[in-house]
Chains A and B, each alone.
Chain A
Amino acid sequence: METATYTVLLLAAAAFCYRLTVGPTLSDRVIAVNGMLVIGMLAIAAYAAYEGAGAFLPVLVVVSLVGFVSTATIARYIERHG
């Protein structure tokens, strides 16, 4: 079950990498980076759950808030400059 979880997350990261590389507009790349942030958060949660070590869990809170602020900032940039 542990290997399956990490493998699924790796496949999802590969799909987001494809969109990050190809994506024709800036919005596509922002979407891909957001998805990879979600994958990183899920990977930290899975690591903490399977190892029983919750030392990295506050990183989840920080990543969630920083991801929101960065998306809002880039949205303002896209709205002004297209």
Chain B
Amino acid sequence: MMLGEILLLAGAVLTLLSALCVARFDDVLLRMHALAKASTTGLLLGSIGAALMLTNANDITTLLLAAALNLLTTPVAANLLSRATYRSQGIATRLEGADLHAGRVNVEPSEAD
């Protein structure tokens, strides 16, 4: 029971860290990086903690299903959003190191579909 509370609090603290990073960082891709990693881990920890505190099997399986779905969909959503931000014309992004897609930025996205 105590371990569940600790895990729940750890998940909340990780989400607070990701929120502070989202509020503090000065570039769109940096903010997306902070949110995608930290909040996914935070929600996973919190769901496991809540599942440890509950006793009903139905509640536990629902929580674990929600955690697994979030673990599957959040990286995909972050990848879609960061790719769209990178390829859009109006949003300035700053990359460290080599920009491997530098020649392909101006590809019209409407040609893809």
Contact = CB atoms under 8 A, between A and B. Distances in A.
A18 B59 contact: no
Nearest to B62: A57
Contacts, number: 172
B94 to A, nearest CB: 13
A60 B32 contact: no
B81 A64 contact: no
A1 B5 contact: yes
22 contacts: A12-B12, A12-B19, A15-B19, A15-B23, A25-B90, A27-B28, A27-B91, A31-B32, A35-B18, A38-B15, A38-B42, A39-B19, A42-B43, A48-B63, A49-B49, A49-B53, A50-B53, A57-B66, A76-B84, A78-B81, A78-B84, A79-B83
Interface of A: 1-2, 4-5, 8-9, 11-16, 18-19, 25-28, 30-32, 34-35, 38-39, 41-42, 45-46, 48-50, 52, 54, 57-58, 60-61, 64-65, 67-68, 71-72, 74-76, 78-82
Given A16-B22, A19-B23, A75-B77, 15 more contacts: A5-B5, A5-B12, A8-B12, A8-B15, A15-B19, A27-B85, A31-B32, A41-B66, A42-B43, A60-B66, A61-B69, A67-B77, A75-B81, A79-B84, A82-B90
Interface of B: 4-6, 8-9, 11-13, 15-16, 18-20, 22-23, 28, 31-32, 35, 39, 42-43, 46-47, 49-50, 53-56, 58-59, 62-63, 65-66, 69-70, 73-74, 76-77, 80-81, 83-85, 87-91, 109-110
